[in-house]
Amino acid sequence: MITLLDYGAGNVRSVRNAIKRLGYEVRDVSCPADIIKAEKLVFPGVGSFGSAMHKLADLGYIEPLLQHLQADKPFLGICLGLQTLFDSSEESPGVPGLGIIPGTVSRFNNPALSVPQIGWNGINQRQDSGLFTNYQGEKLYFVHSYRAMQNKANQEWVLTTTNYGDEFISGVQKGNVAAFQFHPEKSGEAGLTLLGNFLGGRTVSNRKADTVPQDTRLAKRIIACLDVRSNDEGDLVVTKGDQYDVRAEGKVRNLGRPVDLARRYYEEGADEITFLNITAFRDFPLKDQPMIEVLERTSEQVFVPLTIGGGIREYTASDGQHYTALDVAAEYFRSGADKISIGSDAVDTVEEFLRIGQKSGQSSIEQISHVYGNQAVVISVDPRRVYCDSPLPAKHSIKTNFPGPNGEEHCWYQCTVKGGREGRDLDALTLAKVCEKLGAGEILLNCIDKDGTNSGFDLELINLIRNNVSIPVIASSGAGRVEHFSEVFAGTKADAALAAGIFHRQEVPIAAVKAHLRECKVEVR
């Protein structure tokens, strides 16, 4: 029996599903005594260091957790579950950690890096361990802004290290107590192998590894996007628009069922999967939202990160029940989502911020990032080009290599809402910069002009945004062939590239994209 310490963090369902997939029964901790009785304890942590420690204290879990650790009983921490083992974290000054491992967890401080680190990176083994039985050195999935560093006092704990700017601790182990900064439950079959080794009680040698450490490198991510909506018959289907128009010959394009396609993309090697809910289901009570079932079923079969977007805002259902954006996000996280994508609501939030000149603390971006961490909040931007005869500094206009219909040499990128049907007097760069300030951790950068054209990504838009924010940027809209992916990574600093229709219709297989990128010397998983 495996005991899972679920204190109300983010996507714990995926850890539970991974354990069940490996053939083990799971029991959730419901009181402090459950920790004391646990034979093998798994502690998945998502969110901020301070909120996690306060929650553990409020639930009365700290003392029994320390007893478990000090007794050297089998323990596996994941992500924040590793960080809480240290003395403290810069993320939450004044909040003590569990103090099992000496050191303070600190934020990545290299200005050349995208922070959070989001994606697939490698590890260097510093100890031999049974946890690595049958592990072939594959990249593993990381998503974090803070990391633990080696020092003289914690050397005996260091199991693995990883490079992202500096070399940081990506795994610890001493006796039966182990923890990973990466997410094994989101690292595909390689991660399941590591998790299975822990669950199976693989022995630990704690000898220094014989391998010579090599710098690890973060991979560029290839993301499959599924636009989900109900068709005219009421079935939930994956569709694809042409400049956001999802109908052909009067009917909604039906490219398959969301769970089936997501599983296919996982098997084909997608690094992440994004669901965009483009039907307004807000009349439903939250428990009856169709995307809840999609996430639950997908997370049972797909062990890479899942993002859900669409309808992440407050609303009142037909039964009179009111839900905040945080309520909606929490339900999606509990159903299997790892990240939440916010679209039109982000435009409204930024307009309000610019009007009052300060944070309100009440926006969906602020609330969700405060509870679940900024790595859990993605901003989906849907801009279109607006051409102009001369520069417009207030709109962050650029001189373009693709003149407008009347020969205009400049353009700015207008934010839109309601699926591109309504433009706002707000430019995309202002939106991105304000959202970063409010706590967003990633930008999903679409382009209405490029959507469905198969003509390649809008490199000018991507450079405008990526060169002026420090959080990761996902390039979207326009991919039509494998060369478009190498072009976007060669011509911009995009951290990931997303496509939809060409994957759905199997015009460009994900494996072909990755093979081409390897030929171009682009780091991929």
Active site residues: 79, 183, 185, 227, 382
* Rounded to 5°, angle at Cα 17 from 13 and 22: 155
Q: Record the tokens describing residue 202, joined without a space.
A: 């693989």
The contacts of residue 162 (CB under 8 Å, 6+ apart) are 121, 122, 123, 124, 142, 168, 170, 181, 182, 216
Pairing of strands 101-107, 146-147: antiparallel
- Please give the Cα distance from 462 to 490 (Å, whole number): 12
Q: Record the tokens describing residue 474, joined without a space.
A: 């996902």
The length of the chain is 525
Residue with tokens 């599924």: 226
395-414 in b/e form (b: 16+ CB < 10 A) is bbbbebeeeeeeeebbbbbb
Residue with tokens 């929650």: 55
Task: Provide the 8-state DSSP code for 245.
Answer: B
Q: Confirm if 131 and 232 have CB atoms less than 8 A apart.
A: no
The CA-atom distances, in angstroms, between 471 and each of 121, 284, 382, 411, 467 are 17, 34, 18, 24, 10
Listing DSSP states for 255-322 in one string gives ---HHHHHHHHHHHT-SEEEEEE-S--TTS-GGG-HHHHHHHHHHTT--S-EEEES--S-EE-TTS-E
227-263 in b/e form (b: 16+ CB < 10 A) is bbbebeeeebbbbbbeebebeeeeebbbbebbbebbb
H-helix or E-strand spanning residue 151: none
The distance of Cα 454 from the centroid of its chain, to the nearest Å, equals 26
Cis peptide before 472 (omega within 30 of 0): no
